[in-house]
Structure 1
């Protein structure tokens, strides 16, 4: 008899999925080589790594031949023999990496995901599914990890299968971090200044925050209208977030915010004054240096003229008397 949904959720509650940068690069390369930029098709692959019960380390991956019908989600093909052959070859290279699940480039859940997940149960008892968004529209982690659970209803109806989201993170070893830094160094535009980069990053962060707030608003509206069921755990988390927000109606909070803003503006003002003074000092110093160089050049020219006059005086040809021609 399968475990109840509550027991499964309690088991998955403390699990964290760690995805390595090598996997993200491999998935992005697989998608770029297999799908054109104008197409919305997805690619599927297998995930390799270690599963110690609490932390699932996704360290490697490989693509799988996959086809599906865009109009009929139930029509799809996946070469499971290819998965077994590739897994056997990977085990010869690194025996520590086990087949732990599969990935696809969604970017959202599809109707056929549950059937594909059941297929991967031939290779692993509890397959992990990771959705990698290769074309992210917002700032954030481009991975979403899921596990399939059996939802048992109290009224005795048929058991349903659904996916439960688990937290994921992007972490890498020292060698991977160095490689990613080199890639970012090559991709980074050298024409942009540091200030422009910082402003662009803050703007992207604000857009990501706006997207998350829009998702929260949509969820609360759907719950209030009865479209989605009430999940008290999510409501409690949202209430904790709202409790951490400052009370802008309080006079003390407003005064502290104003004092902090004034201090920051004062620092900016003093920095601007110092920059202007340093620029003026550099200008005056440059003018003085230019005048000294002009004076040195003028002295060198006068000294050269004096030396030429002395050379003419010392020349013995100038001492010969003048001769007159006889007729």
Structure 2
């Protein structure tokens, strides 16, 4: 079944009364605890998502695209997302509760992928975000009919900052303090970019013309540390904004998050402690001493190079002067010989 644009009213009625899932695809109800602890996204998925986003941006004004993730769960809660395919999706820009996802197309594509590789199963879905949307919980409930422990991976197809373009989430039940019924929300999962040996070779081949070979390992290490500090600063700002919204009453108190923040604050050192200040000063002095010695060594080496260069130039000039002197002497000798020959010829003629 191919996707068709329909009116928002029809979509609302369709999803209210006619959402169905084929019995061959129906699974058991999702468990309360998600076994996934870490999500590994493979390069093929990133390339497919970027291609999907690029194609749709050329033919329409869609702000994001949606697709299904395929993969398998490894040991120790590691989810390998090794493949993906696009799904026809549309939503109302004004009313985010009105959306359409072609689940018939999803079922047909899943069946074909199973014929190619039976190990790859539906593990979740993706969209190009770049952030969570209001209707993501409802879309996730539909995907959970095909995968009980559905994972949402937001892949930023147009990243503005350096760093990983992926963010992984899974749905959890949020309990409110005021006694109101629980609600669905998303909880963040650790994510990373990983690849097998064959994929690494392909990625290296694609990046061969883009990679700057003049960049050394030291600059790469400094760049990685700088990106890490920028990411840390970004997370600290997110925490600050979250706490401000909780204080203002815009967000409910999440005790798990508060406990984790308390653990973070407990791990912070006491900067007012004299022993800590002394240790920091000692460490700083040691590092400055290393920098000073390195600068002094560079200066001495530069001075030696200057002296050697001066001696080399002096020797070269001396050799050049000697050659010039020898050349002049030879020219004078030749002139004298010519004069002698001329005088000899004249005397013989007489």
Q: Is the 8 A contact 1:100 1:124 kept in 2?
A: yes
Q: Distance in 1 between matches of 2:346 and 2:228?
A: 95
Is 1:109 matched with 2:132? yes
Q: Distance in 2 between matches of 1:154 and 1:303?
A: 103
More off after superposition, 174-183 vs 152-161: 152-161
| Deviation by residue 1:140-173 (Cα, 9 ceiling, x = unmatched) | 5432222334568899976644333333233222
Gap change, CA 1:212 and 1:148, over 3 Å in 2: closer
Q: CA deviation at 1:86?
A: 3.1
Q: Is the 8 A contact 1:138 1:204 kept in 2?
A: no
RMSD between superposed Cα atoms in Å: 3.7
More off after superposition, 247-256 vs 57-66: 57-66
Gap change, CA 1:33 and 1:280, over 3 Å in 2: farther
Q: Distance in 2 between matches of 1:51 and 1:295?
A: 77
| Deviation by residue 1:40-99 (Cα, 9 ceiling, x = unmatched) | 701111111102472221111222232222112133333333333333343343332122
Give 1:207-222 correspondences, 5 Å limit. 207-222=230-245
Structure 1, unaligned runs of 5 or more = none
Gap change, CA 1:218 and 1:151, over 3 Å in 2: closer
Q: CA deviation at 1:259?
A: 0.8
User: TM-score, with normalisation over the residues of structure 2?
Assistant: 0.75
Give the match's secondary structure for 1:12: coil
1:271 is matched with 294
Q: Distance in 2 between matches of 1:190 and 1:155?
A: 59
Q: Distance in 2 between matches of 1:241 and 1:155?
A: 27
1:119 is matched with 142
Is 1:293 matched with 2:316? yes
1:75 is matched with 98
1:47 is matched with 69
Give 1:1-327 correspondences, 5 Å limit. 8=32, 11-12=33-34, 15-35=37-57, 41-52=63-74, 54-138=77-161, 140-149=163-172, 160-180=183-203, 186-187=209-210, 202-311=225-334, 317-318=341-342, 320-322=344-346
Q: Distance in 2 between matches of 1:159 and 1:112?
A: 17
Q: Is the 8 A contact 2:56 2:62 kept in 1?
A: no
Structure 2, unaligned runs of 5 or more = 1-27
Q: Distance in 1 between matches of 2:49 and 2:43?
A: 10
